[in-house]
Amino acid sequence: MIHDGLAENGHYYSYVFDRSQKTWWKLDDHRVSKATEEQVMKEALGGDGYKSACNLFYMSKHIADMIDLQPMPVHGAQRAKTLRIPAPITKQIQLHNAQFDLKNQQHLVEKAVQQINQCFKERLNKQDN
């Protein structure tokens, strides 16, 4: 995990090595992108600005070798189709998603109302001048 910023504030993101593809991935909020090993090591050691590694996870060679022997991918689209989520959990997820969508819609409406109010205030100020 990389921290970019000062002690008082900043942003966290992670790099993960995909052993099956022999590829580094950068996970930064909702953005996922490929990264070079050079980029990962540079940012872990300070990078540009205020970047530095704050959490490192290591895997023993024995475990890494065992993983490398597994047929890849271990989990994929076919495996996902066979997984069954219990109905109460599915309903809870759907409820949370619906609540999130409602809050998001409310936020968008409030933002639109604020923009409309700001436009009216600006027009009234122009008329007064």
Helix, strand or coil, per DSSP, at residue 27: strand
Same domain, 56 and 10: yes
Specify the pLDDT at position 128: 80
- Whether 13 shows a pLDDT value over 90: the answer reads yes
In 3D space, the residue among 53, 66, 60, 49 whose CA is nearest the CA of residue 14 turns out to be 53
Specify the pLDDT at position 49: 80
Same domain, 6 and 61: yes
Same domain, 93 and 69: no
Domain residue limits at 110: 84-129
Same domain, 92 and 67: no
Helix, strand or coil, per DSSP, at residue 19: coil
Alpha-carbon gap, residue 60 to 74, rounded angstroms: 19
- Whether 33 shows a pLDDT value over 80: the answer reads yes
Specify the pLDDT at position 74: 63
Task: Encode pLDDT of 44-82 as tens digits.
Answer: 888 778 888 888 888 999 998 988 888 766 667 777 777
Same domain, 44 and 104: no
